[in-house]
Structure 1
Amino acid sequence: MAAIGIGKPVLYSTMTFLAYNVNIQYYSGLHYTWCTPYFGSDFNSPVFTVPPSSSPLQIYLDLKREVEGGDLHGTLIKVKRLGIRHGADAMLKRGKITVDARDEIRAICQRATPEHFRPVMCVLPRAEVLSYVQAVPVRARANPLSQEYIVADVPTGAFDVIKFG
């Protein structure tokens, strides 16, 4: 599906420190991430942006809170851990990594501490990443009015990573 209607100059995404480093070490510095042209949710705006579950800012804050709080019952770290494992399975199926690399990524995920899941904010300039962008189908969006995109196989040098406080 084509990335239509990205009117903003920047896309935002939140990923974990662990995912970012797995991408660099095992996937030749290529990254896969969901993103949006809106940094946060603005429910007072007459134009719908994204719900909290797709807001890069809200995801960052929620993940940071879970990591700093050492919340063993929190769900975000579990979801992120599972996502990295699924990513390794997908990369194996695509022939991008070996079985040994997949198994190593799985072992890393199993041993990773909450601190490894601290969030980093990705700032992706539209001009740099447009050729890597696909629109998320309506059925897969957090809200049918959301502008959500997948950026796949984007090189590390095409975007910036920031960490807040």
Structure 2
Amino acid sequence: MSKRVLPFYNRFFDLFDRLVIEEWEAKTFINNVLSEDLINDENKKKIYKGINVLYKCGYLTRKKNPKNSKVFLYTETQPIVDYRAKKINEKIEKVLKEKMNTISDSLNTKSKEALFISELKAEYPEIACQIDVIQQEHLQILNDLSTKKNVIKKLMQHFSISEF
């Protein structure tokens, strides 16, 4: 039983993250997988081997180039499309959860500050008028943060992401 190994594994998958492969010649892979300082005959052979592994495993289709019958054109298949979509969804989930945590923390802090200002006003009614402006600023910030939190919740629902 043969074991298939994908040379430059990480570089190929970085490529899948960034670009759509549609009717690429092998040289396009070489130019996109290898940095200029890594382009040599040995590494080119590894890229050809990697393309063949991806083809045999069903990640690429190939057809002969109508302009040059000695050259194949490669196109990604559904597993690569699915991989890219999964990576994008993971990134969206990470960003939304990070933002939700940041906004939740800010909401908690601002709520405590607003409560403290209310307590100050109740304890010292003679200064209540002077700190009303600050209290209103805090309430506006709380309102803005709540709006942001609601937007993130809606985005999370849209992308079927659980809050916690």
Shared fold, TM over 0.5: no
Structure (1/2) with the larger helix percentage: 2
Q: TM-score, normalised by structure 2?
A: 0.26
Structure (1/2) with the larger strand percentage: 1
